[in-house]
Amino acid sequence: MFASVKTIQNGASPSFASLLRHAVRRLVGECSGIAAIEFAVLLPAFAGLIYMIAQIGLYFYFSTTLYYVTQKATRQILTGGVANLGYTAAQYRTNILCPLLLTASYGSMPCGNIITNIEVVPSWSGYTSGGFYSLTNITTNPSNPLGYTMTGLTAPTMNNNNTSFCIGSPGSIVIAQVYYAMPVLGIPAMLANVTTFNGQSVIFISATSVFKNEPFTPSTTTTTPPGC
């Protein structure tokens, strides 16, 4: 106080830089408590935002990779390669699907999280029966102009022991569904459609391929694969 009065009496004034430093020191000292409170309040929201960005990024990455691998792997069915080798569902996953998946994902998508369900599309038997209709969630709905409501393909049980492996014969129309159990980051309760698979919280993402088998020549050892 006395120094300030003396400075003014001598006709000199403090420099702008010294006043600015003094103001900043006072501001920091007085706002440190408020900053701590604001940080504590905003930290969970910021962490949640980072978590959601990471989860969404993984979802799109895994979805794109799964789609690519499904298209590549099902080509071995439509060309007759799987039929002529006589592969079972487990052999198909181990020898064809999984190597493609591990290569495309750089090892980030383990094969143990893959579910396959491959079926031959049956012949049409009516306006809304047979064909693809037999593989969809279709219900009668009088209020709908079409007379029915269809909400997509029927999802199989997420257990490879209970899924189908029907690869068809030359000329068959086949539908292949491949699911990947994507691990959930952070708090599962923050996301919808979370379920448990192999003891961990996951979200199932899927890729579907529909194709008509080429007119390949079956080998003499070709048999109907188990699970069909």
Residue 15 belongs to some domain of the structure: no
pTM of the entire predicted model? 0.75
Residue 64 belongs to some domain of the structure: yes
pLDDT of residue 223: 60
Burial (CB < 10 A; 0-12, 13-18, 19+), residue 6, is: exposed
| Per-residue pLDDT reduced to its tens digit, 121-176 | 888 776 666 777 778 777 777 888 877 777 778 888 899 999 999 999 999 999 99
Residue 90 belongs to some domain of the structure: yes
Cβ within 8 Å of residue 192, ≥6 positions away: none
Cα end-to-end span (Å), the chain: 94
Domain that holds residue 132: 31-212
Residue 146 belongs to some domain of the structure: yes
pLDDT of residue 2: 44
Which of 97, 58, 73 is closest to 209 using CA atoms? Answer: 73
Which of 114, 98, 69, 100 is closest to 209 using CA atoms? Answer: 69
Residue 226 belongs to some domain of the structure: no
Residue 95 belongs to some domain of the structure: yes
Number of domains in the chain: 1
pLDDT in tens, the chain (228 residues): 444 444 444 455 566 567 667 655 665 565 556 766 776 777 788 887 888 888 889 999 999 999 999 999 999 999 999 999 989 999 999 999 999 999 999 999 999 999 999 999 888 776 666 777 778 777 777 888 877 777 778 888 899 999 999 999 999 999 999 999 999 887 666 677 888 999 889 999 999 999 999 998 877 665 665 556
Residue 60 belongs to some domain of the structure: yes
Residue 7 belongs to some domain of the structure: no
